[in-house]
Amino acid sequence: MLHSHRENSEKGKLGFSFEVPPALKSENFSCFVIGESLSFFGSWMTQIALVWMVYQLTNSAMLVGVAGFTNQAMGLIITPIAGVLLDRWNLRYVLLTTQLVSILLSSTLTFLTISDRIDFTSIIIIGILQGLVKAFDLPARQVIIPRLVDKKENTYSAMAVHSFLINTAKFVSPMIGGILIARSGAASCFLVDAISYLPLVSAILTVKLKPVPQNSLSKSSKIWQNLKEGFVFAYEFLPLKYLLMLQITTCFMAMTYVNLMPIFAQEILKGNAETMGYLMTSAAFGSIVSGFYLMSRKMVVGLELIIARSSAILGLSLICFSHSTNLQICLFLIFLIGLNLTLTLASINNFMQVILVEEDKRGRVTSIFMTTFLGILPFGNLFFGGLASTIGIANALLFGGLCCVIGAYLFSRKLPTIRKIVHPIYAQLGIITQSN
């Protein structure tokens, strides 16, 4: 026993470990996340292409914000309700439907662009439909992960690997997307997106899902009552409440920088689509580094401190980036932004999925957290689009960074309360002993 502990300690001192993460030993999980990461590859390319196209069509920072708002505004209303339905419906059928509809929408964008019929109105309409699909699709992808692994204690490993593979796709897609836009046009990005959903469709059809015990929710027809129960639980369970508050701040104040990059590349750095691609690639490379770090940790203990630190560094990096005009310095700073943004949001999600032991509330709680992406983010896009038009893009990014620093400070003051509550949960799951 002592020898084994000593070996583990020696391994922990090494910079890298070649041990396969426990979650990847599950064929179900591996099959699903590989297909999912490919679909995210296409989705990120489409997001970049749409933002660039809107700016080229309108030359307006405000309309770029409007486009981002309409793409995700449906999430504010639909996603919480979707969480209730995900606790009732067959997840396999939900995911299969969302992928097929996404293929149809991306194919439509490809046709409109190639035929030169694309305009701002078409982008807005398709953006609304995409937002409706995402309201069901993204929470369903999160909820299904714990049901793919064989052991409950492997949930953190599964969420970390899930984040790592998604951010790997995020790393590759901006670089290729920027090059494709500059040389082949936005239609090539939309076509790649339509094709990228096919591996996930295949995975959805083949994976085996761990059965979930029946509960009172499945027998109830009062959707609004179930929805209220989810919000009350997220508010009264203090770790979830504090995580949610920080996530809302981060998504609204920091995550919206993506929509401002076309303007920053042109107005501040005097660049083009390839410049935007370099910036987005550097940010995504930071994301993949943070994902690798989370995957290598293999334990959830101490993650709350990482959340506090990474959110503070994120705000400081945004402040420095906002008034930098040198491309090399901007690439380094946006690398830090991408690293700490992903480290903050992925850690919040991984932490939440582990401490959430009530399976009958997983769909609703997950959907509430996803609302900060699909509901709060579009308001952030709209707000920062208008703010950039009023005070300039540099000052808008500076304001977002300052708010992130304040949010990190307030969250750090709640760390003792969070630890006091979650340690018994760790003991219940067998992650630590009760004495520890």
59 backbone φψ class: left, alpha, beta (φ>0; ψ -120 to 50): left
Confidence of residue 123 (pLDDT cuts 50, 70, 90): confident
Q: Mean pLDDT, the chain, as a whole number? A: 79
pLDDT at 192: 86
Confidence of residue 75 (pLDDT cuts 50, 70, 90): low
List, for residues 52-68, the tens digit of each pLDDT value. Answer: 888 778 877 677 777 76
Percent pLDDT > 70 in the chain is: 85
Lowest model confidence (mean pLDDT) among 119-123, 299-303, 402-406: 299-303
pLDDT at 243: 92
Lowest model confidence (mean pLDDT) among 283-287, 328-332, 401-405: 283-287
pLDDT at 18: 45
| Between residues 71 and 397, the one the model is more confident about | 397
- Calculate the CA 268 to chain-centre distance: 27
| Half-sphere exposure (Cβ direction) of 218: Cα atoms closer than 13 Å | 10
Confidence of residue 410 (pLDDT cuts 50, 70, 90): very high
Lowest model confidence (mean pLDDT) among 296-305, 323-332, 342-351: 296-305
| Between residues 359 and 341, the one the model is more confident about | 341
**What is the residue whose two structure tokens read 């501040």?**
268
Confidence of residue 377 (pLDDT cuts 50, 70, 90): confident
| Between residues 184 and 342, the one the model is more confident about | 342
User: What string of DSSP letters covers 248-298?
Assistant: HHHHHHTTTHHHHHHHIIIIIS---HHHHHHHHHHHHHHHHHHHHHHHHH-
**What is the residue whose two structure tokens read 């300690």?**
9
pLDDT at 3: 43
| Between residues 339 and 379, the one the model is more confident about | 339
Distance between CA atoms of residues 249 and 51, nearest Å = 23
- Tell me the domains of the chain and their CATH numbers: 22-210+231-429 (1.20.1250.20)
CA angle 360, 366, 368 (to 5 degrees): 110
Percent pLDDT > 90 in the chain is: 14
| Between residues 251 and 213, the one the model is more confident about | 251
Beta-carbon contacts of 204 under 8 Å, excluding residues fewer than 6 positions away, are: 32, 35, 92, 95, 96, 99
Distance between CA atoms of residues 192 and 206, nearest Å = 23
Residue 290 has pLDDT above 80, yes or no: yes
Q: Which of 183-192, 273-282, 303-312, 342-351 has the highest mean pLDDT?
A: 303-312
Residue 309 has pLDDT above 90, yes or no: yes
pLDDT at 15: 42
DSSP code at position 19: P
pLDDT at 373: 66
Residue 218 has pLDDT above 60, yes or no: no
List, for residues 126-178, the tens digit of each pLDDT value. Answer: 888 888 888 888 888 888 887 887 776 677 778 888 777 776 776 677 677 77
The phi, psi pair for 18, rounded to 5°, reads: -95, 10
pLDDT at 79: 75
